[in-house]
């Protein structure tokens, strides 16, 4: 299988760098092809702007329309086209990064901002009636698996359901559901290391074994059971229908519950 690793950390000898190196080693040992997009080493341009297009239809920048025109005409800049090519090449994507201020590093957000152009990651499919295009379980990245590998400085309990920092599942919902599931990827539970500034050699050996095992089972793990947009769970306004998600709250209502059919027609 073909694996893309998108890596976002400025220090090659960091914990994130070690996890990235471990992922390359383990995945190749498993017989997979591996490509790494090392965003800092690539000096990835994070800001989405008019320089992303080799030509534009008007002087006034309309990033949504201009990105679609450039995607369809092959006039995106070479760096964006190459990352799109890698995504389409891949069977799975590993995102390796530290949690900075409750989200991803700006350089990784900029990767999504520039690579997820209109006509590729969004703005596709039929719109009409209860259908709002091909997204959330459909899209051009359908069939690919994705996993977040995170390092977090805080304590695990701080990210529990009652923890002061908020429940990690909720904090990651915009990334896992809103960015990765939106264009059709299948999402695995994240791999997380907490209290990274206190990690001992023994701790590293423990977590590295856990990560290696996750990677070896990348195509066998049961994914997060997000509801599909166009499977009858949502009404014409894209609101979850009455009777679904009973007893749940927050972002968890968008997960299939035990006994619920995948389609609700």
Q: Span 241-252, mean pLDDT?
A: 88
Confidence of residue 265 (pLDDT cuts 50, 70, 90): low
Smallest Cα–Cα separation from 76: which of 105, 102, 44, 49?
A: 49
* Cβ-based neighbours of 256, under 8 Å, separated by 6 or more: 225, 226, 227, 262
Distances 241 to 84, 88, 129, 136, 178 between C-alpha atoms, Å: 35, 34, 15, 16, 20
Residue with tokens 């080799």: 54
Q: Please say whether the beta carbons of 228 and 39 come within 8 A.
A: no
Taking residues 53-67, report their average pLDDT: 91
Would you state the structure tokens that stand for residue 135, as one six-digit string? Answer: 């997204």
- One DSSP character per residue, 103-114 reads B--HHHHHHHHH
pLDDT tens readout for residues 3-32: 999 999 999 999 999 999 999 999 999 999
On the question of pLDDT at 97 being above 90, the answer is yes
Q: pLDDT class for 215, splitting at 50, 70, 90?
A: very high
Candidates 32, 37, 33; CA nearest to 20 is 37
More confident: 259 or 230: 230
Centroid of chain to Cα 9: 16
Whole-angstrom CA distances from 29 to 94, 147, 167, 225 are: 16, 19, 35, 29
d(CA 89, CA 82): 10
How does pLDDT run across 185-202, given as a tens digit for each residue? 999 999 999 999 999 999
The mean per-residue pLDDT over the stretch 253-259 comes to: 90
**Within a 10 A sphere around the Cβ of 211, how many other Cβ atoms?**
20
Q: How far is CA 56 from CA 42, 44, 116, 180, 219, in A?
A: 26, 22, 18, 28, 41
Domain 2-221 architecture: 3-Layer(aba) Sandwich (3.40)
Listed in sequence order, the residues at least 6 apart from 23 whose beta carbon sits closer than 8 Å to its beta carbon are 5, 34, 94, 96, 149, 211, 215
Crossing angle, helix 15-29 and helix 201-216, to 10 degrees? 40
Domain ranges of the chain: 2-221, 225-265
- Over the stretch 130-170, which tens digit does the pLDDT of each residue have? 788 999 999 999 999 999 999 999 999 999 999 999 999 99
Q: What is the pLDDT of residue 129?
A: 74
Could you tell me what percent of the chain has a pLDDT over 70? 100
> What's the pLDDT band for 207 if we cut at 50, 70, 90?
very high
Average pLDDT of every residue of the chain: 95
Contacts of 114 (CB under 8 A, 6+ apart): 45, 46, 48, 52, 79, 80, 83
> CA dist 213 to 2, 135, 146, 216, 243, Å?
18, 31, 16, 5, 38
pTM: 0.95
């Amino acid at each position: 299988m073909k694996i893309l690793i998108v890596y976002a950390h400025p220090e090659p000898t960091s914990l994130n760098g070690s996890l990235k190196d471990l992922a390359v080693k383990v995945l190749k040992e498993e017989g997979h092809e591996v490509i790494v997009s090392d965003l800092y080493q690539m000096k990835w341009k994070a800001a989405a702007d008019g320089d992303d297009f080799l030509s534009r239809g008007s002087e006034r920048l309309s990033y949504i329309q201009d990105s679609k025109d450039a995607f369809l005409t092959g006039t995106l800049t070479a760096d964006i086209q190459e990352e799109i090519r890698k995504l389409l090449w891949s069977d799975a994507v590993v995102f390796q990064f530290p949690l900075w201020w409750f989200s991803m590093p700006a350089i990784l957000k900029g990767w999504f901002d520039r690579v997820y152009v209109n006509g590729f990651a969004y703005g596709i499919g039929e719109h009409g009636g209860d259908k709002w295009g091909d997204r959330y379980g459909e899209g051009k990245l359908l069939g690919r698996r994705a996993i977040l590998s995170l390092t977090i400085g805080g304590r695990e309990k701080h990210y529990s359901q009652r923890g002061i920092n908020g429940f990690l599942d909720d904090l990651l919902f915009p990334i896992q559901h809103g960015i990765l599931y939106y264009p059709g990827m299948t999402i695995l539970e994240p791999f997380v290391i907490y209290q990274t500034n206190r990690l001992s050699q023994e701790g590293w050996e423990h977590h590295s074994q856990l990560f290696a095992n996750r990677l070896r089972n990348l195509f066998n793990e049961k994914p997060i059971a997000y509801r599909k947009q166009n499977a009858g769970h949502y009404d014409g306004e894209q609101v979850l229908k009455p009777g679904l998600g009973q007893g749940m709250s927050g972002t968890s209502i968008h997960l299939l519950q035990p006994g619920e059919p995948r389609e609700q027609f």
